[in-house]
Amino acid sequence: MSKSYEKINYAVRPAKNIERRMLCEALRRLVEFGRLETYRYIGFGSTFFTDFSLFHKSLGITNNLSIERDEENRARFEFNKPYKCIKIEFGNSNSVIPTLDWEAKTIIWLDYDYKLDQSVLTDVASFCSKAIPGSVIIVTVDARPSIDIDQRLEELRSKVGEDKVPPELSSKPQAAAQMLADWGTADFSRKIIHNEIEATIKDRNGLKEAGNKLQYKQLFNFHYADGAKMLTVGGIIYDQGQKRKLARCGFKQFEFVKTGIDPFTIEVPSLTLREIHHLDKQLPCEDLATVDTRSIPDKDVELFARVYRYFPAFVDAEIG
C-alpha cells in the first residue's frame, strides 16, 4: 500500500484544516462526560501528527496513541513525534486496536487515505464493541466514485461484502452506478459505517437492562475535497442514563454538527490574505448583504462566512 504521507502534507490542506478545527471545537463539549484531560486520543499521526498537536494543545489530552502501519520507518515517526505524551504502536490497525485496554474514555479518529473496505469496518466494530460510554468515534474515508462506471456496485461489494451493501443499491443494480456518482459514494459509505456502528452496539447491549443500554448519536457528516472527495462521519457512544449529559453538551448549536444523512459540505473559497483580513473585520454578521465585499464574488463571501472562524492561515516566511 502506498505511503500517502510521502506525497501529501496533511498539515496544509485547507478543507482538512477546517474540518479538524471544527472537530476540536465540538470535542470541547465532552466536558459534560468528564474532564478532557482524562480522555485518550487514538489516531493515525503519520509523520506530521497535526491532529495530535491540535488536540493536545487545545483539549489538554496527554494520553495519546498513534497507530502506524509503516514499520520500516520507525525512526522517522519517532523523530517527528512532537510531544513526549504521544506513544506510537506499529502495526496494522486491525491488529493493534483489539490489543488495547478500554478503561479510559477515548476519542478515536480512524483517518484512512483509502476507500471504505472490510478492514475499516473491522476497526469500527472493534472500537464500538469495547469503548466505554462518553467515547467518540470518527471515521474518514476516500469517497471518490469508481472511474469505471459499470463496476461501481461490484467494487463496493468486493470491498465491504455483499451483506454490507445497502438494499437500495443491491436491489437496483442498473441504477446503482448513478446512485454512487458524485457524492453518492460518500452517502452510501456513511450509511454502511453507521449501520456497522449500530449493529455492533446492538450486539453489545445483549441482555443489558433497559436504562443501561448503550446508544450511538451521530454528530459529524462532513464532505470535503482538497482534491479527492472525502467523507468524515462519526459520533458519540453513551448509555441511556447519560441523555441529559448529551443534551447539556449543546452539540446542536453548531451548524456543522449533522445527525442525519444531510452532510455539512466544507467548500473553501480562493481568497487572498488581504481579502480574508477585509472580511474578518466584518464578521460575524447577521446579514451578509451589509458586508462590503469590494470585488470579492458573493459566493466566496458566503462560503467564507460559514467557516471563517476555522479558516487556516498559511504564511510563507523567510528567516535569514
Q: How high is the pLDDT of residue 318? A: 53
Q: Which band of pLDDT confidence, cut at 50, 70 and 90, is reported for residue 208? A: confident
- Cβ contact 40:107 at 8 Å: yes
Mean pLDDT of 288-294: 96
Q: How high is the pLDDT of residue 312? A: 85
Q: Is 272 helix (H, G, I), strand (E, B) or coil?
A: coil
User: Closest Cα to residue 314, out of 55, 13, 53?
Assistant: 13
Instruction: Write the burial class of residue 317 (CB in 10 Å: 0-12 exposed, 13-18 middle, 19+ buried).
Output: exposed
The residues with which 223 forms a beta bridge, in sequence order, are 231, 265
Q: Which residue has the higher pLDDT, 8 or 301?
A: 301
Q: Which residues contact 169 (CB under 8 A, 6 or more apart)?
A: 153, 156, 176, 179, 180, 188
**pLDDT higher than threshold 90 for residue 316:** no
Task: Look over the chain and give the mean of its residue pLDDT values, rounded to a whole number.
Answer: 94
**pLDDT higher than threshold 80 for residue 11:** no
**pLDDT higher than threshold 90 for residue 142:** yes
pLDDT (tens digit, 9 = 90+) per residue, 125-136? 999 999 999 999
**pLDDT higher than threshold 60 for residue 8:** no
CATH 3.40.50.150 location in the chain:
4-145+182-266
**pLDDT higher than threshold 60 for residue 3:** no
Q: Which band of pLDDT confidence, cut at 50, 70 and 90, is reported for residue 6? A: very low
Percent of the chain with pLDDT over 70: 94
Q: How high is the pLDDT of residue 9? A: 41
Phi, psi (deg, nearest 5) at residue 283: -115, 150
Mean pLDDT of 36-65: 97
Task: Give the cell for residue 298.
Answer: 458573493
Tell whether omega for the bond before 82 is within 30 degrees of 0, i.e. cis.
Answer: no
Kind of pairing, strands 214-225 and 229-239? Answer: antiparallel
DSSP state of 147: S
Q: Name the CATH topology of 4-145+182-266.
A: Rossmann fold (3.40.50)
Instruction: State the Cα–Cα distance between residues 25 and 77, nearest whole angstrom.
Output: 27
pLDDT (tens digit, 9 = 90+) per residue, 147-206? 999 999 999 999 999 999 999 998 888 899 999 999 999 999 999 999 999 999 999 999
**pLDDT higher than threshold 80 for residue 78:** yes
Distances in Å between the Cα of 219 and the Cα atoms of 15, 75, 137, 246, 250 are 18, 36, 10, 11, 11
